[in-house]
Structure 1
Amino acid sequence: MTMLSVAEARAKSRIRLRSSMSTWATQSDSISVSSDDGSDTSTPTSAVVEIALHPPTEKQVLDDQQAAMEWAASWRKVAAPDGSGEKLDNSSSPVIDWAERSWARVGRQQIPLRLRLGAPETVANFVGGDEAEQWRRLRDRAATIRSLFDNQHPATSARIDQLASAIKAHAKRILGLGQAEFDTLLDVVAWLRDHPVGTLRPRQLPIRGVDSKWFETHRALVTSLLEAIGHPEAVDVLDAEPRIRMRILDPKLAPSGLSDIAAPVTQISDLAISPRLVFVFENLESVLAMPTWTSAVAVHGSGYAVDNVARLSWVHGTCVIYWGDLDSHGFAILSRLRKHLPHVESTLMDEATLTDHKDLWVQEPKPHTGAFPELTGTETRALTRLRAEGDVRLEQERIPWRAALERLTTSAAESAPNPGEPE
């Protein structure tokens, strides 16, 4: 095996620093040890990085004695960068493990075996460059966040772990902030922690430079930090209430003749309507295409925001029919809705519909790989089939409208008492 050069060891250490800095920056008591075999152990005292240097054999020394001597000298310089020749044995400087070799033709030789970097800062010093600067910036910012917010609650390990997890999850964002942006972030989190703001909107926050655009950009980080310090409700008031688009298909139900409505969930929920049948479609075009239908409404589920449908007071107790894309995410959304409305029936989400439209299949770019216990046997078989076919999808809008409407009519007749029919 070729002797590992100082440059090659730095490259290995640089990779380790990049991959581990978010973890190291949030650790206070223990650090992770990385060995050449890829194993990690947790210990408060050992080196964070250990790299085997692959010293030469006697034959390799005899083949090129000059190269072997220069290689050993390069590692002596790493171990004693001040030129004193004394090995520095502390966590702030690289440590080289040496061993004596007694060779018949070369004699006794001191050979460097292993590089040990005892702390993250040692790794950064050894690596240098941009990565070292990034490590120090993240380390310092993590320390600042913890100093500001760790003392707000009893210092339980769970609370400390939550804040560390939030910092680790958003390390890239924290690193990318300019200093002024970082200071503003701290101000926002502290202000929201300390002030019950009622219905205050983002642009009303009394912090210079903070408006709705700022909050949209930094929302995930702000939310994560507030949740970690025990104030998950503080950010809820900054949400614009989600809106729902729906069509009232029965003119007799339409308030003041208003049939196509997009409004906040609470306002839609307060409508004085009592439909017998509620269609929930993943695709807005399908909602807009629906004909007049006695005692029925059609609601746009908006993908994973389908939870909002269950917040509509008049939906509970009605017949609810869901139609989504025939793909893994369509079934994930159906499963999500059924957690809130167990009586939801699906339509056009079965194996026969899938196979009957094989010419309209496309590839699903990022399939959902989870399991969905809320699905029925029919739905599960369709999900299994589309996965077996290579994660295909049949988009709702690709099914011919005449065939879809016929199936919707049949499903309504089978599911709802006196469901009426499309006109």
Structure 2
Amino acid sequence: MTMLTVAEARAKARTRLRSSMSTWATQPTPTAVEIALHPPTEKQVLDDQRAAMDWAASWREIAAPGADDSTAENLHDAESPHGPIIDWTERSWARVGRQQIPLRLRLRTPDAVARFVGGDEARQWRRLRERTKTIRSRFDDQDPAISATVEDTGGEADNDRIVDPIGPAIKAHAKRILGLGQAEFDTLLSVVAWLRDHPVGTLRPRQLPIRGVDSKWFETHRSLVTALLTAAGRPEAVDVLDAQPRMRMRILDPDLMPSGLGDITAPAPQLSQLTIAPRLVFVFENLESVLAMPDWADAVAVHGSGYAVDNVARLAWAHRARVIYWGDLDSHGFAILSRLRTHLPHVESTLMDEGTLTAHRDLWVQEPKPHRGEFSGLSGTEARALARLRAEGDVRLEQERIPWDTALERLTASAGEPTTSASEPAAPTGEQG
């Protein structure tokens, strides 16, 4: 086996630091990392004595007190728990004689791992470590060394429970915590502290007395705020975040309309409670397409509102209907379709194929910020269309640019005949909610 170089050992330690950082930041006891150095055999020494000597010397330098490593800090004090330790062994070889050989690298604490690794990973570790301490100091009344232990509540193993609510919350959201700028992190702490200490009642996000915080801020940071408030013992305080999203829909079949209402805007839970059972649910990205739809037997049309399309899955009656999705022919359109299918796997798409894309080449525009991810659940037809629009240079065909007659013809072919002609779209009847 090849002798492990200092650079290779750093690569191994770097991988371990990346994968274990969130665990190490939230546990009270130090974690040791041991890396075998794979010392040479006598034959390997004889084959290249200079290489073996240089290898041993490189590890002797790492172990030497006062030596500099990649972080340019004095990190190698053997008395310090944060310095690297090299375990040596003596080999007695017939043709080489007695030799002191480095056998194993031991890094006794996460700080020791970070200092040995250096670079961005070490800076990330220090940031996460310090932010974990800050969060605990603000929202955890117990000492972390105590709160992360197992508490025996009754002598039975089944009754043991973990008393550290903060640690799991930080661990689950470590990447997001690391990604916050300092100002964002300070704002996060202020928001969680305010919501923990004040009754929210019927406050909306817009009413919170914290500079720079609004509904968009909560959209971005909702999961982290929720986790920290729950860990701080105030799960009910997240009610302020639960502004029920409003959706717009049109009931295309007059026979399904409740009290004659055909154009309704209301929170998703209220729409879900409508006593309707449509056979067909159209979900369109573009509101104008929803408004242009003609009467259609046993059908409704719902405005998907981009990535808020998750709300369609909150409509109980949609789960029992045939669902047809029509979005923009661009990378985000397919991302939204894939997202909707995680909730409603039976969703069909229309006008999202390669033929539709190429037939409207003159209507293409450039997609400003294409989505580079891979999307699960796309059909072969959809995947080919996505590949084509990327191959053409990240183009997009917006839904509203497709001529309405063409679109309605394809919708009819996909879903069946509407009850009125394309020239007679049903007029909106007003809003509710």
Shared fold, TM over 0.5: yes
**Structure 1 position 241, deviation (Å):** 2.7
TM-score by length of 1: 0.66
The answer for unaligned runs of 5 or more in structure 1 is 32-46, 339-345, 370-382, 413-419
Equivalent residue for 2:374?
A: 366
What secondary structure, in the 3-state scheme, does the structure 2 residue paired with 1:282 have? strand
Closer/same/farther in 2, CA of residues 196 and 278 from structure 1, 3 Å limit: farther
Task: Say which SS state the counterpart of residue 323 (structure 2) adopts.
Answer: strand
User: What are the within-5 Å matches in structure 2 for residues 232-247 of structure 1?
Assistant: 232-247=235-250
AA aligned opposite 1:405: T
1:309 equivalent in structure 2: 315
Aligned to 1:17: 17
Q: Take 1:23 and 1:325, find their aligned partners in 2: how far apart are those partners?
A: 43
* Residues 159, 229 of structure 1: 8 Å contact kept: no
Given that residues 325 and 393 in structure 1 are in contact (C-alpha distance below 8 angstroms), is that contact kept between their aligned partners in structure 2?
Answer: no
1:151-181 CA-partner distances (Å, limit 9, x unpaired)? 48x9786665654333223323322334443
Contact 2:322 2:347 in 1 (8 A): yes
The answer to whether the Cα contact below 8 Å between 2:88 and 2:104 also exists between their aligned partners in 1 is yes
- Within the candidate set 387, 394, 405, 2:412 is matched to 405
Among 297, 302, 312, which residue is 1:299 paired with? 302
CA shift, 1:259, in A, is 5.5
Residue of structure 1 in register with 2:125 after alignment: 135
Equivalent in the alignment of 1:144: 134
1:14: Cα distance to partner?
2.6
Contact 2:269 2:314 in 1 (8 A): no
Report what 1:280 is aligned to: 281
SS of match in other structure, 1:197? coil
Which ranges in structure 2 are unaligned for 5 or more consecutive residues? 68-75, 151-160, 328-333, 359-371, 387-396, 425-433
Counterpart Cα distance in 2 of 1:4 and 1:229: 46
Q: Is residue 123 from structure 1 mapped to residue 113 from structure 2 by the alignment?
A: yes
Question: Any residues of structure 2 matched to 1:70-219 within 5 Å, and which?
Answer: 70-82=54-66, 88=78, 91-151=81-141, 163-219=166-222
Q: Is the 8 A contact 1:53 1:112 kept in 2?
A: yes
User: Deviation string for 1:304-337 (max 9, x for gaps)?
Assistant: 2213433xxxx69x99553236999858746846
**One-letter identity of the residue aligned with 1:291:** P
In 2, the alpha carbon distance for the partners of 1:81 and 1:347 equals: 65
Specify the code of the residue in structure 2 equivalent to 1:6. V
* Secondary structure of the corresponding residue to residue 315 of structure 2: helix
RMSD of aligned residue pairs (Cα, Å): 4.7
CA contact 1:100–1:108 (8 Å) conserved in 2:
yes
Q: Is the 8 A contact 1:200 1:238 kept in 2?
A: no
The aligned runs of 1:309-348 (5 Å cut-off) are 309-310=315-316, 320-324=321-325, 333=340, 336=343
One-letter amino acid of the structure 2 residue matched with residue 106 of structure 1: V
Amino acid at match of 1:14: R
CA 275–408 in structure 1, closer or farther in 2 if over 3 Å, else same: same
Look up the match of 1:68: 52
Equivalent AA in structure 1 for residue 189 of structure 2:
L
Q: Is this contact kept in 2: 1:361–1:392, CA < 8 A?
A: no
| CA 1:142–1:264: 2 relative to 1, 3 Å | same
Deviation at 1:115, TM superposition (A): 0.8
Q: Residues 261 and 7 from structure 1, CA distance in 2 versus in 1: closer, same or farther, beyond 3 angstroms?
A: same
Q: Which residue of 2 aligns with 1:5?
A: 5
In structure 2, relative to structure 1, the CA distance for the partners of 1:114 and 1:306 (3 Å cut) is: same
- Cα deviations across residues 235-275 of structure 1 (Å, max 9, x unaligned)? 232344312122244679989998655454477679xx976
Shift in CA distance, 229/281, structure 1 to aligned 2, threshold 3 Å: farther
Q: Which secondary structure state, in structure 1, belongs to the residue aligned with residue 192 of structure 2?
A: helix
Shift of residue 300, structure 1, vs aligned partner: 2.9
Equivalent position to 1:54, from 24, 38, 41: 38
State the shift of 1:402 in Å: 2.3
